Amino acid sequence: MTLVRLEGFSRKFPRAATGRRPISSCACSTGTRASGCLTASRGWLLEQAERWDPDLLELFAQVARHKRCEVLGQTYFHSLAYLISRSEFTEQVEAHRRLIKDLLGAEPRVFENTELIYDNGVAELAERLGFKAVVTEGVERLLGWRSPNYVYRARGLGIKVLLRNYRLSDDVGFRFASRDWDQYPLTAGKYASWLAATPGQLVLVFIDYETIGEHYPRETGIFEFFEWLPKEVEARGLRFATPSEVIERYEPVGEIDAPEPVSWADLERDLSAWLGNSMQRLAFERESRLEALVKAVGDPKLLRMWRLLSISDHYYYMSTKGGGPGEVHSYFSPYPTPYHAFYAFISAIFDFEERVLEAAAPG
């Protein structure tokens, strides 16, 4: 099962030389050859597309309508809402569900929390919201000796858990064009052989959309890789499937117990990408503690501003990690340093807090 997340905006959605977007050739056309993909789009991204690039929005809708694609549920603002409060998390997920229905004509059945953040509480809320399965990282501390390539059930619940195979996903998402990698170059045939040799019920390949065209431009061969992959997979007796098809076909083989949050970010695969240093924690505390006051004021504009400040990217840019993870954080950040990111954010929070207090003042 191939899953491609649709994230970002202008730099992540360049047109190819032919005038087509990468997703039109990699998701739609390959979907006609017994393949499948799953897409996830932030609510505010769809808003921007509707306002600034209607053609892109229509392309998203085409992907969503494709019989071999399935749309995921998310938080509306790709936020840390789950870490703020259960009520805010629920409101954002419901808002995202309505937007997906209105703009894309789809009704998500499977849920992906922001950056695959997951614990037992996420599973409980997702089940209450009517989702049939949740996607998260196949990290060893959840699995122990077990494989990510099976359907599981959340501890004590009926909702199923699908786990990202991070090794096979990262072979495409991070190592595809690395000439230092001992498996370079990665061809569709070689990759399909790896998939065929992998035991289990399924292999969940989960990558960012920007892998196709931004991280790896056309000259790396990434487009040809995805164009040939369905043929190579079929030739080895495998088939792609959407998450709903997987959970309808397979019964869980065991339970996943996640007392502490996991994610797909950085080497730690926890919350440290967003809350790992004192700047991040201070910024998040200042933002999250305004929830009750903002909602009590009842001003829709202030509520929207507050929710925009909850977007996970703000905290991601403040990370001071080094090594490979630090390079990734820096690559995505528009700021020269994490300290510039913190200063910009905390200044915005102070200004916003003053506005909220003025609005809440009697008279």
Q: Is residue 24 part of a domain?
A: yes
Whole-number pLDDT of residue 23: 52
Q: What is the spatial distance between Cα 329 and Cα 46, in angstroms, rounded to a whole number?
A: 24
Start-to-end Cα distance in the chain = 58
Residues 64 and 205 in one domain: yes
Last residue of a domain, one of 256, 285, 314: 256
Q: How many percent of the chain have pLDDT more than 70? A: 89
Q: For residue range 180-226, list pLDDT tens digits in order.
A: 999 999 999 999 999 999 999 999 999 988 888 888 999 999 999 99
Show the domain range for 58.
2-256
Q: For residue 124, indicate whether it is catalytic.
A: no
Taking residues 278-290, report their average pLDDT: 98
Residues 95 and 163 in one domain: yes
Whole-number pLDDT of residue 34: 46
Whole-number pLDDT of residue 352: 98
Residues 158 and 282 in one domain: no
What's the per-residue H, E or C state across the chain? CEEEEECCCHHHCCCCCCCCCHHHHHHHCHHHCCCCEEECECHHHHHHHHHHCHHHHHHHHHHHHCCCEEECECCCCCECHHHHCHHHHHHHHHHHHHHHHHHHCCCCCEECCHHHCECHHHHHHHHHCCCCEEEEECCHHHHCCCCCCCCEEECCCCCEEEEECHHHHHHHHCCCCCCCCCCCCCCHHHHHHHHHCCCCCCCEEEEEHHHECCCECHHHCHHHHHHHHHHHHHHCCCCCCCHHHHHHHCCCCCEECCCCCECCCCCCCCCHHHHCCHHHHHHHHHHHCCHHHHHHHCCHHHHHHHHHCCEHHHHHCCCCCCHHHHHHHHHHCCCCCHHHHHHHHHHHHHHHHHHHHHHHCCC
Q: Which of 115, 137, 210, 232 is catalytic?
A: 115
Q: Is residue 74 part of a domain?
A: yes
Whole-number pLDDT of residue 42: 81
Amino acid at 94: E
Closest CA to 215 of 329, 331, 315: 331
Quickly tell me which residue has 């996830």 as its tokens.
Answer: 40
Residues 31 and 157 in one domain: yes
Q: Which residues of 209-246 are buried (b: 16+ CB within 10 A; e: fewer)?
A: bbbbbbbbeeeebbbebbebbbebbeeeebebbbbbbb
Last residue of a domain, one of 227, 256, 285: 256
Residue 27: pLDDT band (50, 70, 90) is low
* Overall domain count for the chain: 2
Q: Is residue 142 part of a domain?
A: yes
Q: Is residue 290 part of a domain?
A: yes
Taking residues 132-147, report their average pLDDT: 98
Residues 233 and 335 in one domain: no
Residues 57 and 189 in one domain: yes
Q: Model-level pTM?
A: 0.91
Q: What is the mean pLDDT of the chain?
A: 90
Residue 362: pLDDT band (50, 70, 90) is confident
Q: For residue range 83-120, list pLDDT tens digits in order.
A: 999 999 999 999 999 999 999 999 999 999 999 999 99
Whole-number pLDDT of residue 36: 59
Residues 229 and 278 in one domain: no
Residues 67 and 139 in one domain: yes
Kindly tell me if the per-residue pLDDT of 291 is higher than 90: yes
Last residue of a domain, one of 222, 256, 290: 256
Residues 252 and 278 in one domain: no
Instruction: Indicate which CATH number applies to the domain containing 132.
Output: 3.20.110.20
Q: Is residue 304 part of a domain?
A: yes
Q: Is residue 216 part of a domain?
A: yes
Whole-number pLDDT of residue 309: 96
Residues 246 and 295 in one domain: no
Residues 250 and 301 in one domain: no
Q: Is residue 126 part of a domain?
A: yes
Residues 39 and 14 in one domain: yes
Q: For residue range 110-133, list pLDDT tens digits in order.
A: 999 999 999 999 999 999 999 999
Whole-number pLDDT of residue 331: 84
